[in-house]
Structure 1
Amino acid sequence: MVTRAQQIGVIIGLAIVAALTILRASDPQLLKLARELTFDQYQRLVPRTFESQPVRVVDIDEASLREFGQWPWPRNRIAALVDRLSDMGAAAIAFDVLFAEPDRLSPRNVIRDVTGVDPALLGQLPDNDEIFSQSLSGRPVVLGFGLSNEGNYLPPVKAGFAYTGESPFGAPPAIKAATPLQPQLEANAAGIGHISLNPGTSSAVVRAVPLFLSDGKQLYPNLAIEALRVAQGASTYILDSAPDAPNTMTRVKVGEFVVPVTAAGELWLYVSRDTKERYISASKVLTAGDVSADIKNAIEGSIVFVGTSAAGLQDIRTTALDENVPGVSIHAQVVEQILSGRFLSRPDWANGLEILSIAVLGSLLVILTTFVTPAVALACGLLITLLALVASWVAFLYAGLLFDPLAPIVAGSITHFAATAFRFLVTDRERRDVRRAFGHYLSPSLLYRIEHTRDALRLGGDERELTVMFVDVRNFTQISEQMTPSALVAFLNTLLDALSHHVIANDGTLDKFIGDSIMAFWNAPIDVPDHAFKAVRAALGMRETLARLNKSDAFGFGDERQVSIGIGIHTGLACVGNMGAETRFNYSAVGDAVNIAARIESTCKDIIFDILVSEPTASLLSDCALLEAGALTLKGKSMRTNLFAVVGDARLARSGEFVELHAAHKRLVEALRTHQTGTRKLIGIAKLKAQAAAAGLLQEFYGQISRRAAHFADEHADRADHADT
């Protein structure tokens, strides 16, 4: 037989599973990072094997800089590098270098800045950019460009595009502008590709490289795939997209090679260890003598990437293997991976499978943990964890598929722990029952103090600043006369339970229920920062809750009656502690601050407004929407107390409508205080502003304000009269 505790356990467990499933479906950044680190670990365990492919990196390394000088080199030397590589039979030469500015080392540019030089002489001097441009002409050279946040330059595209299915032009990451290429270089290059490896991501690790960027109308290829196209002499990229899925990609065909990509046109990198075999120093290519036969053999027929590993040039990236490598080597690895045909992929349905596994396996664990012994449940949980790990690893090892085992394992562990914890905690009924009983009346902070503080329930108290609240139901006598006792109790339970929730939720202490009233206070038994603000936030929450209860007819009154309340709040000194007899006592507060809060609550009837606070409380509410409600003589008090109506929270206070209302109200109060004429017009203006700012909340307040004109007399004069007396 299923017990009630087991039923509750299953419900709680399934609720946790549902929450974890929703969390995984939302895929927060922390889960993405954990998933990526898991895939990184897979690659570290089995990295792609470096194979001798026709791909090389000509490295502008420290040795090259020592021999030929600091970077940037004059472009006639870059031209010489192109000539050497071309003469050695390079299939394509791709520069992971920007040529955005004219060569400042060109003789023509150097002499131009010298005063007194004959302009005719400038035309006779060599221009390194022209030399480099002539070197590019007719050769398979690909130049790189970077992304820019300035200007609107976009490079020309040297290739055509064809696609099957829906247009994929909206799939890749966006490009707004690029670093400009020198016009003569741009015109003579066989290909142009972007050198950005992970645009738009904050991660330092390069895990996937976008093969294209898009401005919505045109695609711009990556340096690596453009080099592969130029090396094959291909003229067109062929793009495949998923059926009935515009702005997505599935595959890219370039020449003889087909490359699987993500929906955004990215290639998941399957990297190999960094090795010296991939690199050739530029100094060895530019040597004055004959180039060695080994270098010639390595260059011939290869796609050559030119870049730098020099630390001072700061083109160092991190791979999934946690290696810091030159950025140019990642471009080379992209082509290596395509040539080897070893790809990684994360299918579009992987997310759905992982979410479903959390829901199904989590539900299974809840059932097992609830109805079998803890040992059996633990064994089943460990078996499920092992199966998830093995399945994910086998999919990676033999098919290059990336499935996340971590999310199902973590979700299953949380579910198992929660369900097991419930089984053990449910036996501790005595303490749970005590907390349940007292939790209706005391704040969680007070319960914690009672449970963990020695002699917390002894008699006595201490004086401290409190914010005290009184809440009272309006016209309760009339309501009670028309209801049976049982119906009246049901009404009060519904109302007071809903209202008192806001006291607990805002770190307050629920002191007592007095018939149809509530007394609560803040800043005891422990310090509560911003206690005045939290008390007012609780009052605003009560206003919203009551409106919702009235609208939904929660009290069963139909349209015959709308329940209303009055709330008074005051901040001041009071004595707070356990009061009563040794065998029966109550944690409560007494003092003048409590009396003033009670008087303010009763004054709500005269002001015709539901939430009033005293001046000491208002002085602590810099961000709330408050309006002066007059200086009133409270019952039992010889001096008048300045009161403020709480119209709304900080968002309302900052709104343009309330700013205008506050200004109009200030003019009205000044007119009432000094007995000026024209107050009726000012009241009308305030009513209109109030309607815009508070949607009718203040209509009765302003409807009777002229009757309360004496309440706005200068309270300072009253205090002076009181002092004279």
Structure 2
Amino acid sequence: MTRMQKIGVVLGLALVAILTLLRAADPPLLRQIRDITFDEYQRITPRKFENTPVRVVDIDDASLREFGQWPWPRDRLALLVQRLSEMGAAAIAFDVLFAEADRLSPRSIMRDVAGVDPTLLSRLPDNDQTFAEAIAGKPVVLGFGLSMDGSYKPPVKAGFAFTGESPFNAPPRMTAATPLRPQLQINATGLGHISLNPGTYSATVRRVPLLLGDGEQLYPNLALEALRVAQGASTYVVAAAPDISDTLTSIKVGDFVVPVTASGELWLYTSPDVAERYVSAARVLAPDGPAPEVTAAIEGSIVFIGTSAAGLQDIRTTSLGENVPGVSIHAQTVEQILSGRFLSRPDWADGMEILLIAVLGTCLVLVTTFVSPAVGLAWGLIVTALAFASSWFAFLRWGLLFDPLAPIIAASIIHFAATSFRILVIDRERREVRKAFGQYLSPSLLHRIEHNPDALRLGGDDRELTVMFVDVRGFTTLSERLQPAEVVRFLNTLLDALSRHVVANEGTLDKFIGDSIMAFWNAPVDVADHPVKAVRAALAMRETLARLNATDAFGFGEEYQVGIGIGIHTGLACVGNMGAESRFNYSAVGDAVNVSARIEGCCKEVGFDILVSETTAAALPHFALLDAGSLGLKGKSTRTRLYATLGDETVGLSATFALLETAHQALIDAFASRSADSRKLLGRVRQRAQPYGATTQEFYRRLARRAEHFREPPAAPATVLSEQAS
């Protein structure tokens, strides 16, 4: 890991930690994005409207035209209750506040008239009393609102049983309520709050608080109370999470168990607003009585009474984006409970999403930094697709709500930051290295330096290398007849063409020394069969040089053919960065390097262009190699056996080479035994070597003068041996 990679990882993990903590804090913007995501799920697959026994008696515009503006006198509401009761309504719930006396009551009107006889006043009808008498003994539920003033708390008409920890502080807090008319409060069978979204500033109703609390008592909402009254139940059973205070799990009302959030809210699974849900109040109050279809719709149903008239401003927005009367939300709450189609967001969902941000973010930082931004992006896209698919499937199959966007948004930010850091910092360093050294080093060495710049330090390692030296024949004479610019152009053309084969065969270009090339294999990384690859590079150089001469790439014409000599040796050398701290080269030194250079020099004496040492030849099975004799190398106390390289396995396994090899062996055996048949054998060998060109013929022409290279060297005089021993 490089220093900049370490910095990138540290900065990336710090960003992951910040985003994880931000999600744990769950600011309003994230909550809003999450809610919008769940809204979209419902818009794609809304709850289907089912003909459940729930109806809304709507004080709509047609009703206002028929009976006058709102509020209506309560004797008309008494008639409405009477009609609904006669039609067999299971419960009648008013999404209406009755906090003040009826101003349209005759008694209220005459009370304000001066000089009215009190006795006469007492005999006038009181609409509040009429309404109170109408609801007495009937399954009527009245609603109450929340207030910021006063201390009024409505009575609770049902009992509460609890399981688990105390639930009183779990629901939204109710400090006070709007007082109801005393007689109405007493005569109502049930009381429920009508607030749909207390404590939230969102105009969209997504969750309905089924309970409110003041720390000592729980208060049901209008829909829950209507469902209780319709069943004739007397008690709510509230389940709290075991060993966790202030956390609710479900509410049982009669035969129905309702899963709720920790604060006792029901996630509203909205169905489209349809006309079948509504019955106009004007049709219920028709002078001739309600029509049969109206009676059929009301009979056995839980009836909510409210208004959809535009001027009364009781309009709410649902998750489907529809504007509906507030009373419709209460009706949909009961519909959802009766249908058993619930949505829920498990308590552990937040923890899972936070953990996902941490894990996904960490993985993205590591993949983007150490592999590549493209792989990180691909991995991130796969995880994104899985997150969306899993979230959607959980919603569709089980009604579970998991937020896919928070982890995805966090992962996008992390990937963008990590990718930017890599491109601007880490990859910039690598691009600079590649730009500076790409023309001179093998891809393996570039890869090592790019991913480990610390390797660019002084020092070396002992490794077995195959070292190659390449030199241009007759370069001094050639340079005398050329202008300096022409010499440079010639060298650039030749060395560029030849050095490409080093890189192509996984070698490392060490340096250019005038008209020479030094290269080696098996460093800085291991290279399998490095002697074979070095010799293949040499054979490719031979073919390239022949093509350049044939096409007159140097501009010398037919009068001058460029030649090269190549020496290759495999042995131990020290390889690493060498030089000064401020300026150094990656190079190799040692006996293997010296031997390779001396072998290249022997090409002139032997008269052949590619010579390899015995250690290299041992690693070249089936190559076309000919014994070139044992030659004394400068600086070496013993002679070194060399081999002329005619070709690769294709040549070495051919019948033509087999004949040449047999004749060649017979010749060197004759040289070794000082046989008189050597001259005759030499002629036979030269004849069999004709298919291999002029270079091989020159090799054998000089071989006739090198018979001693195939014989054992004479023993050193005893005096010399004793001097060496001393």
Q: TM-score, normalised by structure 2?
A: 0.59
Alpha-carbon separation, structure 2, partners of 1:430 and 1:385: 30
Q: CA deviation at 1:305?
A: 0.1
Alpha-carbon separation, structure 2, partners of 1:260 and 1:291: 38
Q: CA deviation at 1:377?
A: 2.0
Q: Which residue in the other structure is 1:412 paired with?
A: 411
1:476-555 to structure 2, matched below 5 A, reads none
Alpha-carbon separation, structure 2, partners of 1:162 and 1:286: 40
Alpha-carbon separation, structure 1, partners of 2:114 and 2:378: 87
Q: Which residue in the other structure is 1:66 paired with?
A: 65
Q: Which residue in the other structure is 2:102 paired with?
A: 103
Percent identity, aligned pairs only, is 71
Residue aligned with 2:279, SS? strand
Q: Which residue in the other structure is 1:214 paired with?
A: 213
Alpha-carbon separation, structure 2, partners of 1:22 and 1:109: 61
Alpha-carbon separation, structure 2, partners of 1:199 and 1:370: 47
Q: Which residue in the other structure is 1:353 paired with?
A: 352
Alpha-carbon separation, structure 2, partners of 1:129 and 1:251: 37
Per-residue CA deviations over 1:286-305 (Å, capped at 9, x if unaligned) read 00013111110110000000
Alpha-carbon separation, structure 2, partners of 1:431 and 1:26: 41
Alpha-carbon separation, structure 2, partners of 1:402 and 1:394: 10
Alpha-carbon separation, structure 2, partners of 1:100 and 1:420: 63
The alpha-carbon distance between structure 1 residues 431 and 179, as it changes in their structure 2 partners (threshold 3 A), is farther
Q: Which residue in the other structure is 1:642 paired with?
A: none
Q: Which residue in the other structure is 2:77 paired with?
A: 78
Q: CA deviation at 1:29?
A: 1.0
Per-residue CA deviations over 1:351-372 (Å, capped at 9, x if unaligned) read 0000000011111111111122
Q: CA deviation at 1:429?
A: 6.4
Q: CA deviation at 1:247?
A: 2.0
Q: CA deviation at 1:9?
A: 1.6
Alpha-carbon separation, structure 2, partners of 1:279 and 1:290: 18
Q: Which residue in the other structure is 1:473 paired with?
A: none
Q: Which residue in the other structure is 1:168 paired with?
A: 167
Per-residue CA deviations over 1:471-502 (Å, capped at 9, x if unaligned) read xxxxxxxxxxxxxxxxxxxxxxxxxxxxxxxx
Alpha-carbon separation, structure 2, partners of 1:358 and 1:150: 44
Q: Which residue in the other structure is 1:156 paired with?
A: 155
Alpha-carbon separation, structure 1, partners of 2:141 and 2:409: 47
- Give me the CA root mean square deviation: 1.4
Q: Which residue in the other structure is 1:128 paired with?
A: 127
The alpha-carbon distance between structure 1 residues 350 and 133, as it changes in their structure 2 partners (threshold 3 A), is same
Q: Which residue in the other structure is 1:50 paired with?
A: 49
Letter paired with 1:179: T
Q: CA deviation at 1:281?
A: 0.4
Residue aligned with 1:267, SS? strand
Q: Which residue in the other structure is 2:399 paired with?
A: 400
Q: TM-score, normalised by structure 1?
A: 0.59
1:452-491 to structure 2, matched below 5 A, reads none
Q: CA deviation at 1:428?
A: 4.7
Structure 1 runs not aligned, ≥5 long: 433-725
1:114-125 to structure 2, matched below 5 A, reads 114-125=113-124
The alpha-carbon distance between structure 1 residues 337 and 138, as it changes in their structure 2 partners (threshold 3 A), is same
1:133-212 to structure 2, matched below 5 A, reads 133-212=132-211
Alpha-carbon separation, structure 2, partners of 1:8 and 1:116: 92
Letter paired with 2:171: P
The alpha-carbon distance between structure 1 residues 7 and 430, as it changes in their structure 2 partners (threshold 3 A), is closer
Residue aligned with 2:130, SS? helix
Per-residue CA deviations over 1:112-160 (Å, capped at 9, x if unaligned) read 1111211110111111011101101110000000001111111111000
1:388 and 2:402 are equivalent in the alignment = no
1:418-429 to structure 2, matched below 5 A, reads 418-426=417-425, 427-428=427-428
Q: CA deviation at 1:7?
A: 1.8
Per-residue CA deviations over 1:260-290 (Å, capped at 9, x if unaligned) read 0011000010000000000000000000013
Alpha-carbon separation, structure 2, partners of 1:424 and 1:176: 58
Q: Which residue in the other structure is 1:566 paired with?
A: none
Residue aligned with 1:250, SS? strand
Residue aligned with 1:148, SS? coil
Per-residue CA deviations over 1:319-370 (Å, capped at 9, x if unaligned) read 1111110000000000000000000000000000000000111111111111
Q: Which residue in the other structure is 1:22 paired with?
A: 21
Alpha-carbon separation, structure 2, partners of 1:73 and 1:290: 19
Alpha-carbon separation, structure 1, partners of 2:100 and 2:374: 71
Q: CA deviation at 1:252?
A: 0.3
Alpha-carbon separation, structure 1, partners of 2:314 and 2:104: 23
Letter paired with 2:181: Q
Alpha-carbon separation, structure 2, partners of 1:30 and 1:431: 41
Residue aligned with 2:83, SS? helix
Q: CA deviation at 1:375?
A: 2.3
Residue aligned with 1:174, SS? coil
Alpha-carbon separation, structure 1, partners of 2:361 and 2:347: 23
Alpha-carbon separation, structure 1, partners of 2:329 and 2:41: 19
Structure 2 runs not aligned, ≥5 long: 433-726
Alpha-carbon separation, structure 2, partners of 1:22 and 1:291: 61
1:338-377 to structure 2, matched below 5 A, reads 338-377=337-376
Residue aligned with 1:147, SS? coil
Residue aligned with 2:321, SS? coil
The alpha-carbon distance between structure 1 residues 370 and 429, as it changes in their structure 2 partners (threshold 3 A), is closer
Letter paired with 1:58: V
Letter paired with 1:148: S
Q: Which residue in the other structure is 2:36 paired with?
A: 37
Per-residue CA deviations over 1:222-250 (Å, capped at 9, x if unaligned) read 00000000000000000101011122210
Q: Which residue in the other structure is 1:695 paired with?
A: none
Residue aligned with 1:177, SS? coil
Residue aligned with 1:197, SS? coil
Residue aligned with 1:237, SS? strand
Residue aligned with 2:47, SS? coil
1:241-256 to structure 2, matched below 5 A, reads 241-256=240-255
Residue aligned with 1:317, SS? strand
Letter paired with 1:155: P
Deviation beyond 6 Å, 4+ runs, structure 1: 429-432
Specify the structure having the higher radius of gyration (Cα): 2
Q: Which residue in the other structure is 2:267 paired with?
A: 268
**Is 52-61 or 12-21 further displaced after alignment?**
12-21
1:696-711 to structure 2, matched below 5 A, reads none
**Is 422-431 or 331-340 further displaced after alignment?**
422-431
Alpha-carbon separation, structure 2, partners of 1:94 and 1:47: 26
Q: CA deviation at 1:44?
A: 0.6
Per-residue CA deviations over 1:372-397 (Å, capped at 9, x if unaligned) read 23322221111111111111111111
Alpha-carbon separation, structure 2, partners of 1:430 and 1:6: 12
Alpha-carbon separation, structure 2, partners of 1:352 and 1:316: 36
Letter paired with 2:52: Q
Q: CA deviation at 1:418?
A: 0.8
Residue aligned with 2:257, SS? strand
